[in-house]
Structure 1
């Protein structure tokens, strides 16, 4: 059954790659994500991404994120935090940089579907954007379904789908679908390699995702 699901997912990705897109280049996201356990129920989230329209050229965006997570149980967690990003919108256009400050709130629910580890995430965001001295405040909600399957102790494959809904006249923002794998080096450090297809209202994009994930534990009860 697992092989059938993986095969269907690969067919879906290849089908999307074949569709016409205004961005025919394969862009790249270089990512750091960290979770730092502060106590039994609280953890600090940190994140830094550099994103390119093309593989190692044509800078697109840098984004910084931090947040505090509260986990009342093993299944539920809640995160509140802030984001700052700089986006170069001049790729094939002639527009100034977009600067954004954002508040966000997450609700996460962990689940288990057989051997699949599943996470449901709902994210609210309040976005304060500035471009060419013009300021704008927008709001949106995201729902993501994330699943991974352990191949062995060090290797997992993953897949996800996330939809973005705007509180605006045109509610659809984007839809992200991705596949890849995690490689666990040790208890703290993990490598992520994957592909993501994003559908916007009129365009598509293709991104390679390369990242490291760092998990640390600073609790007094650490063994």
Structure 2
């Protein structure tokens, strides 16, 4: 669980940053000061600062611009996955609802060499359109460490995996994503209510935090009638987006 002292420090940092943004001290559209400077000014650790910045991004006070790479769009809208699929889809105005199919502890010894651990928590979710048609299936694999091992018992914070990971000190820093077209196997076809062999877009994203810890691997199956690829370019920066 999160220590109250750290939680209070994070909230104080959030309040001060919101004040600076609303008052114009941080000009709209300009990069924020560096993490080292901000952590010194706010008298918090860099870890606490990153959690505060993640919360400000969730509230849309700031935006993260990442260096180029392939991302996914939904019906023509670019999906910013930094806040998670649920928020990204909601931002398009689409009426999508999410079903949690599984949240449990699993053992994957075959991944021990790749990630240095063999015990994980898996979150499996399916998303449907308003008309009931399933459009995506997502499996998120997280380390069963740092408090995350309790997720099957306590559940997600605000039904958001991104917020939950940040609250437990896991803030994304780097990773990679592979995207391609693959046929559904029988199990996934059943969950997506399609015929086995139907071709879907498969995205596999692996993320590490600032401490170089493995924090998440997400396998997403996306209906190609709605999801497309998009290529963006640009430097990574945090900007005031108020």
For normalisation by structure 2, the TM-score amounts to 0.30
Q: Which has the higher contact order (CA 8 A, sep 6+)?
A: 2
Bigger strand share: 1
For normalisation by structure 1, the TM-score amounts to 0.32
